[in-house]
Amino acid sequence: MELEIASTMRSRLLGLFGRPGFAGVLMLVPCHDIHTFGMKGPIDVAFVAADGTVIEAHRNVAPCHRLKNREAVATLERFTADSRWFVPGDRMQDEFKRSPE
């Protein structure tokens, strides 16, 4: 999975909005609260704890919704796809490994 990090206030606020061709996963850091207002289609969302464990995951979140998890330090988003998505208990470091240099 390709991972892009959104760490500025502006990039976190926009999230996937206005990026219809983006095929990767967007990590919003810090983030424990997201909305899908203005989105044209559904997204998949996962909330991540400080130790990198997924603590909550959602598939096919429709536009005009808000999700939050106060224990999360980061949130993962992607446009809904048929491929595997996170489930609670998954560990971030297992999914996004660096390629050998």
pTM of the model: 0.88
The distance from CA 64 to its chain's CA centroid, rounded to whole angstroms, is 16
Element (H, E) at 93: helix 92-95
Kindly report the CATH number assigned to the domain that includes residue 63: 2.60.120.1140
Would 101 be classed as within a structural domain? no
Residue 34 makes CB contacts below 8 A (sequence gap 6+) with 15, 28, 45, 66, 67, 68, 75, 77
- Domain limits for position 73: 3-95
Q: What is the pLDDT of residue 94?
A: 61
Q: What is the pLDDT of residue 87?
A: 96
pLDDT classification of 98: cutoffs 50, 70, 90: very low
Q: What is the pLDDT of residue 21?
A: 85
Q: Which phi and psi (to 5°) does residue 93 adopt?
A: -65, -20
Q: Can you count the helices (H) and strands (E) in the chain?
A: 2, 7
- Write the DSSP symbol of residue 97: P
101 pLDDT above the threshold of 70 = no
How many angstroms separate the CA atoms of 68 and 32, rounded?
A: 5
In tens, the pLDDT along 16-46 reads: 988 888 999 999 999 999 999 989 899 999 9
In tens, the pLDDT along 75-89 reads: 999 999 999 999 999
Number of domains the chain is built from: 1
Would 19 be classed as within a structural domain? yes
Residue 91 makes CB contacts below 8 A (sequence gap 6+) with 52, 53, 54
pLDDT classification of 96: cutoffs 50, 70, 90: low
